Amino acid sequence: MATVKFTFEDKNISPKTVEDVETDMSILEVTEENGIHLNHNCGEVCACSTCHVYVLSGEDSLEEISDKEEDFIDRAINPRIESRLGCQAVILDKDAVIEVEIPDQSRIIGHEH
Protein backbone atom coordinates (compact mmCIF):
# COMPACT_ATOMS: atom_id res chain seq x y z
CA MET A 1 0.00 0.00 0.00
CA ALA A 2 1.07 3.58 -0.69
CA THR A 3 2.42 6.12 1.79
CA VAL A 4 1.62 9.83 1.72
CA LYS A 5 3.73 12.24 3.75
CA PHE A 6 2.11 15.60 4.44
CA THR A 7 3.90 18.80 5.38
CA PHE A 8 2.31 22.21 5.76
CA GLU A 9 3.18 25.79 4.79
CA ASP A 10 1.73 26.70 8.17
CA LYS A 11 4.64 25.58 10.33
CA ASN A 12 2.35 25.48 13.39
CA ILE A 13 0.97 22.21 11.98
CA SER A 14 3.12 19.12 12.48
CA PRO A 15 3.92 16.86 9.53
CA LYS A 16 1.78 13.75 9.22
CA THR A 17 2.45 10.46 7.45
CA VAL A 18 -0.40 8.25 6.27
CA GLU A 19 0.49 4.64 5.51
CA ASP A 20 -1.51 1.82 3.93
CA VAL A 21 -3.22 4.12 1.41
CA GLU A 22 -5.15 2.24 -1.26
CA THR A 23 -4.66 2.94 -4.94
CA ASP A 24 -7.40 4.88 -6.74
CA MET A 25 -7.69 7.30 -3.80
CA SER A 26 -7.11 10.98 -4.43
CA ILE A 27 -4.87 13.08 -2.21
CA LEU A 28 -8.02 14.92 -1.13
CA GLU A 29 -9.67 11.64 -0.08
CA VAL A 30 -6.57 10.75 1.95
CA THR A 31 -6.83 14.07 3.80
CA GLU A 32 -10.54 13.59 4.44
CA GLU A 33 -10.14 10.08 5.83
CA ASN A 34 -7.23 11.07 8.09
CA GLY A 35 -8.37 14.33 9.66
CA ILE A 36 -6.03 16.54 7.63
CA HIS A 37 -7.50 19.95 6.80
CA LEU A 38 -7.67 20.77 3.08
CA ASN A 39 -10.34 23.15 1.80
CA HIS A 40 -12.46 22.02 -1.13
CA ASN A 41 -15.56 23.63 -2.55
CA CYS A 42 -16.64 21.96 -5.78
CA GLY A 43 -17.34 18.42 -4.60
CA GLU A 44 -14.20 16.92 -6.09
CA VAL A 45 -15.16 17.55 -9.74
CA CYS A 46 -12.25 19.78 -10.84
CA ALA A 47 -14.29 22.97 -10.92
CA CYS A 48 -12.28 25.18 -8.52
CA SER A 49 -8.79 25.46 -7.07
CA THR A 50 -9.43 25.29 -3.33
CA CYS A 51 -7.84 21.83 -2.89
CA HIS A 52 -4.56 23.02 -4.43
CA VAL A 53 -1.47 21.21 -3.07
CA TYR A 54 2.21 20.87 -3.93
CA VAL A 55 3.46 17.38 -4.80
CA LEU A 56 7.11 17.50 -3.73
CA SER A 57 7.92 13.92 -4.74
CA GLY A 58 6.13 10.88 -6.08
CA GLU A 59 4.39 12.69 -8.95
CA ASP A 60 5.04 9.69 -11.23
CA SER A 61 2.78 7.58 -8.98
CA LEU A 62 -0.22 9.84 -9.61
CA GLU A 63 -2.70 10.03 -12.43
CA GLU A 64 -1.45 12.36 -15.15
CA ILE A 65 -2.51 15.99 -14.94
CA SER A 66 -5.29 16.97 -17.34
CA ASP A 67 -5.65 20.21 -19.30
CA LYS A 68 -8.72 21.09 -17.22
CA GLU A 69 -6.77 20.61 -13.98
CA GLU A 70 -3.94 22.81 -15.31
CA ASP A 71 -6.47 25.55 -16.09
CA PHE A 72 -7.75 25.55 -12.51
CA ILE A 73 -4.25 25.39 -11.02
CA ASP A 74 -3.52 28.65 -12.83
CA ARG A 75 -6.29 30.22 -10.68
CA ALA A 76 -4.85 28.94 -7.39
CA ILE A 77 -2.92 31.08 -4.92
CA ASN A 78 0.82 30.85 -5.66
CA PRO A 79 0.83 28.00 -8.22
CA ARG A 80 4.17 26.31 -8.81
CA ILE A 81 5.47 23.65 -11.19
CA GLU A 82 4.67 20.96 -8.59
CA SER A 83 1.07 22.14 -8.09
CA ARG A 84 -1.81 19.70 -8.32
CA LEU A 85 -5.45 19.68 -7.27
CA GLY A 86 -5.93 17.23 -4.43
CA CYS A 87 -9.19 15.97 -5.94
CA GLN A 88 -7.49 15.06 -9.22
CA ALA A 89 -4.19 13.66 -7.90
CA VAL A 90 -5.22 10.00 -7.81
CA ILE A 91 -2.71 7.43 -6.54
CA LEU A 92 -2.01 4.71 -9.12
CA ASP A 93 1.04 2.89 -7.70
CA LYS A 94 0.47 0.61 -4.69
CA ASP A 95 4.12 1.06 -3.64
CA ALA A 96 4.14 4.85 -3.97
CA VAL A 97 5.76 7.18 -1.47
CA ILE A 98 4.34 10.63 -2.12
CA GLU A 99 5.31 13.86 -0.37
CA VAL A 100 2.68 16.60 -0.37
CA GLU A 101 2.83 20.12 1.02
CA ILE A 102 -0.50 21.72 1.89
CA PRO A 103 -0.60 25.48 1.34
CA ASP A 104 -1.61 27.77 4.20
CA GLN A 105 -5.37 27.19 4.37
CA SER A 106 -6.02 30.54 6.08
CA ARG A 107 -5.34 32.26 2.73
CA ILE A 108 -7.94 30.18 0.88
CA ILE A 109 -11.63 30.97 0.90
CA GLY A 110 -13.30 27.62 1.18
CA HIS A 111 -15.41 25.29 3.17
CA GLU A 112 -13.75 23.60 6.11
CA HIS A 113 -14.59 19.91 5.94
At 110, the pLDDT band (50, 70, 90 cuts) reads: low
Q: Give the mean pLDDT of 7-14.
A: 96
pLDDT at 47: 83
Query: 45-59 b/e with 16+ CB inside 10 Å = b?
Result: ebebbbbbbbbeebb
Which superfamily does CATH assign the domain made up of 2-107 to?
A: Beta-grasp domain (3.10.20.30)
Question: Residue 112 pLDDT more than 60?
Answer: no
Beta bridge partners of 84: 53
Domain boundaries, the chain: 2-107
Measured distance CA(28)–CA(44) in Å, rounded: 8
pLDDT tens digits along 38-62: 999 887 888 889 999 999 999 999 9
Question: Residue 90 pLDDT more than 80?
Answer: yes
pTM metric for this prediction: 0.92
